[in-house]
């Protein structure tokens, strides 16, 4: 059997570590839509600074936007490759699954290194290709890719950007159809990412996503709707040093991918705060519906004081919290999907004293490095709302929840186990 035929056969069965140097960069080639040709020897490099991994999970209706994001990245700053003795400072990896050929053809996950050669051309160096049965947000695709990167490209720091659909800590499908869950058993929980294959949706729950990170990341940027909750941040303790995410939905254009690579792998020190600032400034400069954004940068490993203060305040103000109406509290949702409220505003509206709020603010200051919000989210659009206060974290409000959510929250959300918001 020839090497080429062997590659085709193996790709149908399992992830394949290969290399395909392609100086004629094409977005259609970034999605696993085509099979790498007979591989050259993959370029071995010594990384002295940092590695950024971009997870582009657009095998869904976000495909055109995520494809545009990758094109922005290819046209902007890219790390240099092909240095003498293969000494490079920074590396950019893309783990992608997008639809191709007019966004209609099913593809497979693919991992490649993206860099510029000495002539300034973008080069795609394919490293791993998965099989047709593999989904980005099921099984071990993300974990296997990260493990391979960590073992093959030793560096001082690693970071990841994830772009796809999400619904914070909610169970699967709950956001779109809450009543179905309250009437009976539902599928396993989900929160991060989506693969949509012919109407069959595959998602990854918060716990599985956390477990898919096999080593500590210097930063994680979640370019995903409704991910900016205290529940998500607490779950990522020990996995992520700095976490950037949004409390509201994220506009389909997402983060500023013309700048994100230079911010994260363009210098010796990654700058996720700069990524957050770019995100806010981009949307603040828009008008009308497009002037819509919330963003924060949090240190999950510095949340112990916040959990301790929160546990005491949840107990002290349990009765007023249980009686709060959603209309009293700053929400971050549309279409009556009342599962995401401003963390601090819940306690403010529950009547917390000035002293208690001062303790809370000190704990928030310990872990929230940056926060910003536009005055409105989708002003003039469907179910748009003003953003009157923004502490940088959202949270579940039990008085606006339901029995299924309460039970799920108690059983599955580590933040509740630490603070006993829901008894």
Q: What are the tens digits of pLDDT across the range 325-337?
A: 999 999 999 988 8
pLDDT of residue 328: 96
pLDDT of residue 21: 46
Q: In this predicted model, which residue has the larger pLDDT, 77 or 186?
A: 77
C-alpha span between 76 and 5 (Å, rounded): 36
8 A C-beta contact, residue 333 and residue 401: no
pLDDT of residue 67: 86
User: Average of pLDDT values for 178-190?
Assistant: 53
User: Average of pLDDT values for 74-100?
Assistant: 81
Is the pLDDT at 7 greater than 70? The verdict is no
C-alpha span between 358 and 305 (Å, rounded): 13
Is the pLDDT at 265 greater than 90? The verdict is yes
Q: What is the distance of C-alpha 24 from the center of its chain?
A: 29
State phi, psi for 47 to the nearest 5 degrees: -95, 130
Helix (H, G, I), strand (E, B) or coil at 373: strand
Q: In this predicted model, which residue has the larger pLDDT, 121 or 395?
A: 395
Sorted by where each begins, the domain ranges of the chain are: 3-300, 302-419
- Which tens digits make up the pLDDT trace of 324-372? 999 999 999 998 888 999 999 999 999 999 999 999 999 999 999 999 9
| Residue of 231, 259, 258 whose CA lies nearest to 245 | 231
Q: Which fold has domain 3-300?
A: Rossmann fold (3.40.50)
pLDDT of residue 164: 87
Is the pLDDT at 96 greater than 70? The verdict is yes
Q: In this predicted model, which residue has the larger pLDDT, 199 or 131?
A: 131
- Binned at pLDDT 50, 70 and 90, residue 182 comes out as low
Buried b or exposed e, range 44-58, using 16+ CB within 10 angstroms:
ebebebbbbbbbbbb
C-alpha span between 163 and 282 (Å, rounded): 17
Is the pLDDT at 100 greater than 80? The verdict is no
Is the pLDDT at 115 greater than 60? The verdict is yes
| Alpha helices for 135-284 (secondary structure H) | 141-152, 178-183, 206-211, 230-235, 260-265, 272-284
- Fill in the DSSP letter of residue 43: P
Strands (E) across 78-223 are located at 87-98, 110-116, 122-129, 157-163, 192-197, 200-204, 217-223
User: Average of pLDDT values for 395-419?
Assistant: 94
Is the pLDDT at 186 greater than 90? The verdict is no
Q: If you average pLDDT over every residue of the chain, what do you get? A: 84
User: Average of pLDDT values for 220-247?
Assistant: 97
Q: Residues with Cβ < 8 Å from 390, sequence gap 6 or more?
A: 247, 294, 330, 342, 371, 372, 373
Q: Which residues pair with 220 in a beta bridge?
A: 160, 243
State phi, psi for 188 to the nearest 5 degrees: -65, 155
| Alpha helices for 41-131 (secondary structure H) | 63-75
pLDDT of residue 176: 60
8 A C-beta contact, residue 255 and residue 244: no
8 A C-beta contact, residue 393 and residue 294: no
**Is the model's pTM score more than 0.85?**
yes
- Binned at pLDDT 50, 70 and 90, residue 237 comes out as very high
- Which tens digits make up the pLDDT trace of 277-328? 999 999 999 999 999 999 999 999 999 999 999 999 999 999 999 999 999 9
State phi, psi for 7 to the nearest 5 degrees: -60, -45
C-alpha span between 251 and 6 (Å, rounded): 43
Q: In this predicted model, which residue has the larger pLDDT, 412 or 47?
A: 412
Is the pLDDT at 23 greater than 90? The verdict is no
- Fill in the DSSP letter of residue 80: B
pLDDT of residue 99: 79
Q: Does the CA dihedral 72-128-237-322 come out positive or negative?
A: positive
User: Average of pLDDT values for 406-413?
Assistant: 93
pLDDT of residue 249: 94
Q: In this predicted model, which residue has the larger pLDDT, 59 or 52?
A: 52
């Amino acid at each position: 059997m020839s090497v080429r035929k062997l590659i085709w056969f193996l790709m149908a069965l399992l992830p394949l570590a290969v290399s395909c140097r392609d100086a004629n960069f094409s977005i259609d080639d970034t999605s696993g839509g085509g099979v790498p040709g007979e591989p050259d020897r993959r370029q071995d490099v010594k990384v002295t600074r940092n590695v950024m991994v971009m997870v582009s999970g657009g095998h869904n209706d976000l495909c055109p936007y995520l494809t545009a994001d990758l094109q922005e990245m290819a046209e902007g700053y890219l790390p240099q490759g092909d240095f003498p003795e293969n000494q490079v400072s920074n590396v950019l990896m893309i783990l992608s699954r997008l639809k191709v050929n007019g966004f209609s053809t099913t593809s497979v996950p693919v991992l490649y290194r993206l860099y510029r050669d000495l002539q300034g051309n973008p080069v795609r160096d394919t490293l791993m290709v998965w099989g047709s049965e593999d989904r980005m947000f099921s099984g071990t695709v993300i974990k296997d890719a990260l493990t391979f990167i960590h073992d093959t490209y030793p560096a001082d720091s690693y970071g990841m950007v994830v772009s796809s659909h999400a619904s914070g800590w909610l169970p699967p499908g709950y956001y779109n159809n809450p009543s179905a869950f309250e009437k009976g058993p539902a599928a396993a929980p989900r929160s991060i990412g989506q693969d949509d294959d012919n109407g069959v949706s595959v998602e990854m729950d918060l716990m599985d996503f956390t477990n898919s990170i096999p080593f500590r990341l210097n930063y994680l940027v979640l370019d995903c709707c409704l991910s900016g909750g205290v529940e998500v941040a607490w779950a990522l303790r020990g996995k992520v040093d700095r976490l950037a995410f949004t409390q509201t939905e994220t506009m389909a254009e997402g983060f500023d991918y013309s700048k994100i690579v230079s911010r994260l792998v363009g210098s010796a020190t990654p700058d996720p705060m700069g990524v957050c600032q770019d995100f806010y400034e981009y949307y603040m400069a828009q008008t009308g519906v497009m002037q819509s954004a919330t963003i924060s940068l949090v240190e999950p490993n510095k949340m112990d004081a916040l959990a301790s203060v929160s546990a005491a305040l949840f107990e002290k103000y349990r009765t007023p919290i249980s009686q709060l109406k959603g209309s009293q509290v700053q929400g971050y949702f549309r279409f009556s999907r009342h599962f995401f409220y401003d963390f601090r505003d819940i306690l403010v509206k529950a009547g917390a004293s000035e002293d208690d709020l001062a303790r809370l603010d000190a704990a928030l200051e310990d872990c929230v490095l940056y926060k910003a919000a536009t005055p409105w989210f989708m002003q003039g659009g469907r179910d748009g709302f003003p953003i009157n206060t923004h502490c940088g974290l959202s949270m579940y409000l039990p008085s606006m929840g339901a029995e299924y959510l309460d039970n799920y929250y108690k059983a599955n959300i580590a933040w509740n186990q630490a603070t006993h918001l829901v008894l």
